[in-house]
Chain A
Amino acid sequence: MSRSVGRNVVRKDGTAKAVGTARYVDDLTFPGMLHARTIRSTIPRGRIVRMHRRFDAAGFTIVDARDIPGRNLVSLIQEDQPCLAEGEVRHAAEPLLLLAHEDRERLLQAQVEVEYAPAPALLDARESTHVFKEIRIARGDLDTGFREADLVVEGEYRTGHQEHLYIEPNGMIAVPEHGGVTVYGSLQCPYYVHRALCVLLDLPEDKVRVVQAETGGGFGGKEEYPSIIAGHASLLALKSGRPVKLIYDRTEDMIATTKRHPSTVRHRTGVMRDGRLAAMEIDVLFDGGAYCTLSPVVLSRGCLHATGPYRCDHVRVSGRVVMTNTPPNGAFRGFGAPQTLFAADVHMERIAEQLGMDPVRLRELNALRPGDSTATGQVLGADAAALDVLRAAVSRSGFHRKRRAYRGTGRGIGLSLFFHGAGFTGSGEVKLKSRASLELTPDGVRILVASTDIGQGQRTVHAQIVAEALGLPFEAVEVAAADTSIVPDSGPTVASRTTMVVGGLLKRCAEEMKARLGALTPRAYLRRHGPLVITKQYEPPPGLVWDDDTYQGSAYGSYGWACDVIEVERDPVTAGTRSPRRWSCATARWPTAS
């Protein structure tokens, strides 16, 4: 029996994508299908006075907020975002009205004129008093820390919006059937869409079915926004009684869908002469955009990573995410942590400069080690590998030699050290209660999970884990489509949890199945005992305690550790830089979290 994990297996989705038979949502078609279009606001803030239809309505299905059978909201954390704006506009490109027609050309020609009473827009997060969420992390006593410090170093660091630019833009098809609706789409989280549709359409769970079509990338951009598109397509489908396809082109996708939260992070750090950090005061401000979406959770992860992978006895992190009249920001790879980690490590560089100290030495001195505890009081295990990755990256890149050689030239070399908590924050995984199932088939097994393959290889990795645990060939493991009518809720495909958490559940399913099979082949077992499906639910590893109110405890079950080194060359003509060489050293620890 050859191993599956750690072996270069053939991707489950590889052939279909290589030969072009993989079916993305825009490749699907249904009899009698209509095409849909979203009419959006062109002002950032104001009141809608009237909407004038400037086209012949024959053959059109038109939906506004009054057509919503359930509640006009995108069900997520706060209930503040309408699925279709009603009276008030809070950002440009906000959906106001939906049109569908069987002829796409007629659809594109339809003109709708919107009359507004505009209001002044709030576009600067620093001026916003509308706070979606505030977070405070405190450790030790800041005043004591600053009193002990020899030097105080301050800095402010900003990052802007960022677009995911998944290759396949967003899209959904809604099909009215069985007194409910089935949606097919490009998405990361089938059960997020499922829940949002039940609330919007006032339908029971068994009347809503969500099926993931082949998905061309997500990076977080298809975590929450697909709920809106699915809602729009479903409203049109239910009103017209026909399947409705709603596909965004690149322009619409860029203008309307979520971006990474812009940030302003201020650091005030007390430092000892020898480089030890005595006090860290960190202020984190995220621009949430017009509605709350996932902002509280993004802020949470941002704050939990705000110190960088460094130890300090006296820490205070104050974070807030606020409303502005810009399109809502949302999930994006790293989920708030890249912004604060960027600030933390640029700040370390500034501290090194002010101390006149080698930046590697400064990081070595302060890096979190096994047995150290984080700002939330989480004691790190033997897998805290900040020093290992730092030393590996420094030695592989020839960091010190190059740093000396490049001094005074137009070249430079720099590094950043960082960590990333894997899985949902704090008690998130406990609340999710994710489940995964494994079904015995005559030739092997079938994986039943709501995790989605969005190009990252989920089908392949899960099949590897199951094949390895069962001692079956990789080819004997099938992966069912992420279809809410057949798969259990394994939680969203986010937060680096798919391999670690859902993969862990599948491993437990496979271990139990192996025990049940004994010496029997799958075929023989089915003949003798009938069908076999094993389902496992998430259980937190022992010792993982988290308090959401005080922000104390184990924020994550496991952390990844990494160090990046980059060389840059300054071009005196443009004042720009290019980076001819980069190195990345990282650890990925096999999970113990499920």
Chain B
Amino acid sequence: MRTAISPLVVKQPRTLKDALRMLRDDGPLTPLAGCTDVYVGLNFGTLRDARFLNIWGLDDLRGIDVRGDVLRIGALTTHAEIVRSVLVRRRLPMLAAACREVGAVQIQNRGTLGGNIANGSPAGDSLPVLAAAEAFVELRSAEWTRTVPFGEFYTGYRKSVMRPDELITAVEIPRVEGAQWFRKVGTRAAQSISKVVMAAVRASRPRIALGSVAPTVVRARSTEEALAAGGAIEEAQRLLQDEISPIDDIRSTEAYRRFVAANLLMQFWTDTAPRGRARPGVNRRTR
């Protein structure tokens, strides 16, 4: 049953400074923006938080640009804006591919990259991309700004190094060399949550990240090393099995997730094989 909303508190900061001050002085507050995760809890009556900070109006946190050689995406940038961005499509096409598969158009118009990170679901579609791209998360509080490597951001299931008085303000992605690859496997082609999701980069040292196969998004480092050292793909597929820890849950089974993860690795390796007419950009999904 739907949650009653009158007992909920929603603070409305006018500026980023306001917002950070409220987090420091009036916390704990759960930041909300597109509300695509909040509304699910609200409609099912499972919402735990009662105090929110509405940062949707903070336009400073929007926008995509390149500073030096770093792609910078504001935390409130929506999936739809990312899909449309020429900068993203040129420099980080696997992120555009991931954002195109989040929910459906309505969700893409409201859901934000920062929200996807903050929600911390192991199934978050954009997270393997950020892991494979070795992105940095910019966190700000009333007192400081710090930048955390994405690989060090999560500490456990829906847990991160972010403090209650901090806000995700941007994501920074250094230039990614090599062919980018992304594929999400869900129950349906759209409006689904992933059973397994993988983003990868084919470079002299490949980078491979997977979602929905562990409590957090994971980098498959041994697999990467084996491939970098010229190991056989079959060996890499075996190593991958040790690096993931999928479970049986409402969406899939451990066995199926292991099967698909191994196949995705093979598909990535075949699709990005450096022979013939190498295409720039992300490889098109096969489904």
Q: For the complex, what is the distance from the CA of A48 to the CA of B214, rounded to whole Å? A: 41
Are B267 and A251 touching (Cβ within 8 A)? Answer: no
Chain B residues with CB under 8 Å of A106's CB are 4
Question: Looking at the complex, which one of A108, A571, A574 makes contact with B2 (CB distance below 8 Å)?
Answer: A108
A576 to B266 CA separation, bound complex (whole angstroms) = 17
Query: Is the pair B4, A573 in contact by a Cβ cutoff of 8 Å?
Result: no
Question: A108 near B4 (CB under 8 angstroms)?
Answer: yes
Residue of B nearest to A572 (CB): B263
Query: In the assembly, what is the distance between CA of A252 and CA of B2, in Å?
Result: 9
Closest A residue to B40 by CB, please name it.
A251
Distance of A106 Cα from B266 Cα, bound (Å)? 56
In the complex the two chains form, what is the Cα distance from A80 to B44 in whole Å?
Answer: 30
A239 adjacent to chain B (CB < 8 Å):
no
**With an 8 A cutoff between CB atoms, is A127 at the interface?**
no
- Residues of chain B from 1 to 31 with CB closer than 8 A to chain A in the complex: 1-7
Q: Is the CB of A250 within 8 A of B43?
A: yes
With contacts A572-B263, A573-B260, A573-B264 taken as known, whether A251 is within 8 angstroms of B4 at the C-beta atoms is no
A459 at the interface (CB under 8 A from B): no
Question: CB of B106 within 8 A of chain A?
Answer: no
Q: How far is the CA of A194 from the CA of B23 in the complex (A)?
A: 56
A238-268: which residues lie under 8 A (CB-CB) from chain B? 249-252
Using Cβ atoms and an 8 Å threshold, which residues of chain B touch A578? Answer: 189, 287
B1 and A251 within 8 A (CB): yes
B286 touches A105 (CB 8 A): no
Q: Does A382 contact B (CB under 8 A)?
A: no
The answer for the CA separation of A580 and B285 in the assembled complex, in Å, is: 15
User: Counting CB contacts under 8 A, is A109 at the interface?
Assistant: yes
Inter-chain contacts of A572 with B (CB < 8 A): 263
Contact A573 B286 (CB under 8 A): yes
Chain A CB within 8 A of B70 CB: no
Q: Is A574's CB under 8 angstroms from B1's CB?
A: no
Q: Is the CB of B4 within 8 A of A575?
A: no
Are A108's CB and B1's CB within 8 A? yes
Give residues 233-284 of B contacting A (CB, 8 Å): 259-260, 263-264, 266-267
For window 539-594 of chain A, which residues contact chain B by CB distance below 8 Å?
Answer: 571-576, 578
Select which of A108, A249, A252, A573 is within 8 A of B185 by beta carbon.
A573
Given B5, B259, B264, B286, which contacts A575 in the complex, CB threshold below 8 Å? B259
Contact B43 A574, beta carbon cutoff 8 Å: no
Say whether B5 contacts A105, CB under 8 Å. Answer: yes
Expressed in whole angstroms, the Cα–Cα distance for A29 and B286 within the complex equals 50
Question: Does A37 sit within 8 A of B, measured CB to CB?
Answer: yes
Q: Using C-beta atoms within 8 Å of the partner chain, give the interface range for chain B.
A: 20 to 34
Q: How far is the CB of B175 from chain A (nearest CB, A)?
A: 29
* Complex Cα–Cα for A575 and B45 (A): 36
CB <8 Å contact, A37 and B1: yes
Chain A residues with CB under 8 Å of B7's CB are 109
Q: Are A573 and B267 in touch, CB under 8 angstroms?
A: yes
Task: List which B179-193 residues lie within 8 A (CB) of chain A.
Answer: 183, 185, 189
How distant is the Cα of A575 from the Cα of B263 in the complex, in angstroms? Answer: 10
State whether A105 and B185 are in contact (beta carbons under 8 Å apart), knowing that A252-B1, A573-B263 are contacts in the complex: no
Given known pairs A571-B287, A573-B185, the reply for A108 and B3 (CB within 8 Å) is yes
Closest to B5 in A: A105
CB within 8 Å for A571 and B286 given contacts A108-B1, A251-B43: yes
Cβ–Cβ contact A105 & B1, under 8 A: no
CB-defined contacts of A250 to chain B, threshold 8 Å = 43
- Knowing A573-B267, A573-B286, A574-B260 are in contact, say whether A109-B6 is a contact too (CB < 8 A): yes
Known contacts A249-B2, A252-B1; A574 and B44 CB within 8 A of each other: no
**Chain A nearest CB: distance from B30 CB in Å?**
20
- What is the bound-complex CA distance between A382 and B4, given in angstroms? 61
| A328 smallest CB distance to B (angstroms) | 20
Report how far A151 CA is from B183 CA in the complex, Å: 47
Say how far A218's CB is from chain B's closest CB, in angstroms.
Answer: 22
With a cutoff of 8 Å between Cβ atoms, the chain A residues found around residue B183 in the complex are 573
* Separation of A572 and B259 alpha carbons in the complex (Å): 10
Tell me, rounded to whole Å, the shortest Cβ–Cβ distance linking A570 to chain B: 11
Query: B62-75 interface mask toward A, CB cutoff 8 Å, 1 = contact, 0 = none?
Result: 00000000000000
Bound together, the chains give a CA A572 to CA B4 distance in angstroms of 46
A578 to B287, CA, bound (A): 8
Whether B4 contacts A109 by the Cβ 8 Å rule is yes
Residues of A within 8 A of B1 (CB): 37, 108, 249, 251-252
Q: How far is the CA of A37 from the CA of B185 in the complex (A)?
A: 38
Distance in angstroms between the alpha carbons of A571 and B5 in the assembled complex: 45
> From B185, which residue of chain A is reached at the shortest CB distance?
A574
Q: Which of chain A's residues have a CB closer than 8 A to the CB of B189?
A: 578
CA distance A37 to B259 in the complex (A): 45
Instruction: Name the distance in Å between A248's Cβ and chain B's nearest Cβ.
Output: 10
Once the chains are docked, how many angstroms separate the CA of A106 from the CA of B6? 9
Question: Nearest Cβ distance between residue A307 and chain B, in whole angstroms?
Answer: 33
Shortest Cβ distance from A103 into B: residue: B6
Would B44 and A251 count as touching, CB distance under 8 A? yes
* Residues A105-151 near B (CB distance < 8 A): 105-106, 108-109
- Minimum C-beta distance from B139 to chain A (A): 35
**Distance (whole angstroms) from the CB of B101 to the closest CB of chain A:** 14
A37 and B286 alpha carbons, distance in the complex (Å): 47
Query: What are the residues of chain A within 8 A of B286 when measuring CB–CB?
Result: 571, 573
* Distance from A112 Cβ to chain B, minimum over Cβ atoms (Å): 11
A199 vs chain B, min Cβ distance (A): 28
350-369 of chain A: CB within 8 A of chain B: none
Within 8 A of A (CB), among B104-152: none
Q: How close is B194's CB to chain A, nearest CB, in angstroms? A: 11
A107 to chain B, nearest CB (A): 8
Measured in the bound complex, the distance between the Cα atoms of B266 and A573 in whole Å is 9
- Which chain A positions have C-beta within 8 A of B185? 573-574
Q: Chain B contacts of A571 at CB under 8 A? A: 286-287
CA distance A574 to B267 in the complex (A): 11
Determine whether the beta carbon of A574 is less than 8 Å from that of B263: yes
A105 and B4 in contact, given A250-B43, A251-B43, A573-B263 (Cβ under 8 angstroms)? yes
Proximity string of chain B (166-201) to chain A, C-beta cutoff 8 Å, 1 when within and 0 when not: 000000000000000001010001000000000000
In Å, the complex CA distance between A106 and B5 comes to: 10
Q: Given the complex of chains A and B, what is the CA–CA distance between A576 and B195 in angstroms?
A: 13
| A576: B residues at CB distance < 8 A | 287
Instruction: Tell me, in angstroms, the Cα distance from A576 to B267 when the chains sit together.
Output: 15
Q: Whole-angstrom distance between the alpha carbons of A251 and B2 in the complex?
A: 8
Nearest chain A CB to B281's CB is how many angstroms away? Answer: 20
User: What's the Cα separation between A108 and B267 when bound, in Å?
Assistant: 50
Q: Compute how far the CA of A40 lies from the CA of B287 in the bound complex, rounded to whole angstroms.
A: 42
A108 to B6, CA, bound (A): 10
B259 contacts across to A, CB distance below 8 A: 575
Give every chain B residue within 8 A of A249 (Cβ-Cβ): 1-2, 43
How many angstroms from the CA of A571 to the CA of B189 in the assembled complex?
Answer: 13
State the CA gap A252–B1 with chains docked (Å).
Answer: 7
Residue of A nearest to B45 (CB): A251
Instruction: State which residues 51-106 of B face A: CB under 8 Å.
Output: none
A573 contact set on B, CB distance < 8 A: 183, 185, 260, 263-264, 266-267, 286
Distance in angstroms between the alpha carbons of A572 and B266 in the assembled complex: 11
Tell me, rounded to whole Å, the shortest Cβ–Cβ distance linking B196 to chain A: 9
Other than the given A574-B287, A578-B189, 15 more pairs (CB < 8 A) read A105-B5, A105-B6, A106-B4, A108-B4, A108-B5, A109-B7, A249-B43, A250-B43, A251-B2, A251-B43, A251-B45, A252-B1, A573-B183, A574-B185, A576-B287
A-B residue pairs in contact (CB < 8 Å), sample of 16: A108-B4, A109-B6, A109-B7, A250-B43, A251-B44, A252-B1, A571-B287, A572-B263, A573-B185, A573-B260, A573-B266, A574-B185, A575-B259, A576-B287, A578-B189, A578-B287
Q: 9 smallest A-B Cβ distances: which pairs?
A: A108-B4, A105-B6, A573-B263, A109-B4, A105-B4, A574-B185, A573-B267, A571-B287, A251-B44
